[in-house]
Amino acid sequence: MNRDIVIVGLNHRTAPVELRERVAFDGALLGETLQCLRALGSVGEGAVLSTCNRVEVVAATSDRDKAFAEVKRFLLEREAAAGESNLEARLYAYAGGEAVRHLFRVAASLDSMVVGEPQILGQLKDYYLAARAAGSVGPVLHRLFHRSFSVAKRVRTETGIASRVVSVSSVAVELAKRIFDRLEDKTVMLVGAGKMGHSVCRHLQRNGVSSLMVTNRTFERAVEVAAEFRGNPIRFEEFSRYLKLADLVIGCAGAPDYLLQPQTVEATLKERKQKAMFFLDLGDRRNFDPLINQVANVYLYDIDDLQSVASENLNGRTGEVLKADEIVDEEVEGFLRWLDSLDQVPTIVALRQRLEEIRQNELEKSLRTSLKGLSEKERRAIEDMTSAMIGKILHAPISRLKNPDEGDEALYIEALKKLFGLEDK
């Protein structure tokens, strides 16, 4: 059975955004990606997670070493397709309890750049649902992901990790405030009006921004978000014409390629008479060509530049992180016990079947001879009584098997097989 768990990936601590985006999974091709992952010989169950801060593969396997090798190659081939070759040194790999612990911490937002931000849990659920729809997860990963959702809920309920409302978008707006001192008199253009874009708008409005332009590939969505925050919708194909009005441009679009090139920005600056422009790129894959940062009077920040603001945000909550980690450790132990119990299942099932066969055979024999002539009601009473007896007989050994002393599990399984003739089960 594929009961070992491995996780291979990279995140904001091990790799810069320009490397993460080269191996990021395209949402439109997720089903195909999961099928390719599932086709690896060592991967019995598989799922992926791809956000602006991490790209990870989660797999259940019966061959840990082979799974490590195949999943690493799976990611390295993605980077090779992008023409690079420095990924391997940035990858981390976890197995067993460490893998479980890692996923629980990710779900609880303890491994996020902005610790405590709630978005990661929604993203994790979305990727789990995608894997379930693709048929790439089975009983082990189903249980692992659902347990991680429960751990996240428990951490948020029992600790103060989320006592301050934090998110990538709120930290981004905090960075913008530091850049400009004040935002009330600035014009902001938002490129991409999805969940992240909507959250950015909310924080911009709370911080006094009154001049907002919103553009999105689907114009109706731009109109909807602009109306909610009293901004102006801009057609996506025309947004570069309006750049000259923006002091701050925030990119949140899910675009496979750069949406802004240096030439466009240089032309915009001429129209602005070289008045400085700031760009904040929050895309999973960057929306703005990093070369625009070399244009005079242009200042470009990406997701990695949020790290210092996010670290300050964590001040005062480090004690809550320790409490959260204690919860995670406790939950990891519980999950590993469940995982270990999977070894016992075939023996328990075989033992139940063996005793049930004996009960049925003896009962039928008696009903044909000594108990012949019983009424239907009396037959049912005999059936119920013998079933109850089997249940009581099995209760103690099965309980012992499920809760063995350390090191005794294999001994009990072997003993039951020999005592009840279960060797071939």
Q: Is 201 a catalytic residue?
A: no
- pLDDT value at 7 more than 90: yes
Q: What would the 3-class secondary structure string for the chain be?
A: CCCEEEEEEEECCCCCHHHHHHHCCCHHHHHHHHHHHHCCCCCCEEEEEECCCEEEEEEEECCHHHHHHHHHHHHHHHHHHCCCCCCHHHCEEEEHHHHHHHHHHHHCCCCCCCCCCCHHHHHHHHHHHHHHHHCCCCHHHHHHHHHHHHHHHHHHHHCCCCCCCCCHHHHHHHHHHHHHCCCCCCEEEEECCCHHHHHHHHHHHHCCCCEEEEEECCHHHHHHHHHHCCCEEEEHHHHHHHHHHCCEEEECCCCCCCCECHHHHHHHHHHCCCCCEEEEECCCCCCECHHHHHCCCEEEEEHHHHHHHHHHHHCCCHHHHHHHHHHHHHHHHHHHHHHHHCCCHHHHHHHHHHHHHHHHHHHHHHHHCCCCCCCHHHHHHHHHHHHHHHHHHHHHHHHHHHCCCCCCHHHHHHHHHHHCCCCCC
Would you state the pLDDT for residue 84?
60
Global confidence as pTM: 0.76
Say whether pLDDT at 344 is over 80: no
- Per-residue model confidence as pLDDT tens digits over 172-213: 898 888 888 788 999 999 999 999 999 999 999 999 998 999
Residue 157 has pLDDT above 80, yes or no: yes
Average pLDDT, the chain: 90
pLDDT of 4 = 94
**More reliable by pLDDT, 246 or 161:** 246
Q: What is the pLDDT of residues 24-51, one digit of tens each?
A: 998 888 999 999 999 999 999 999 999 9
* Residue 81 pLDDT > 80: no
pLDDT over 90 percentage in the chain: 63
Catalytic one of 36, 52, 201, 252: 52
Residue pLDDT, tens place only, 373-401? 889 999 999 999 999 999 999 888 888 77
Q: What is the pLDDT of residues 117-153, one digit of tens each?
A: 888 999 999 999 999 999 999 999 999 999 999 999 9
- pLDDT bin (cut points 50, 70, 90) of residue 425 is very low
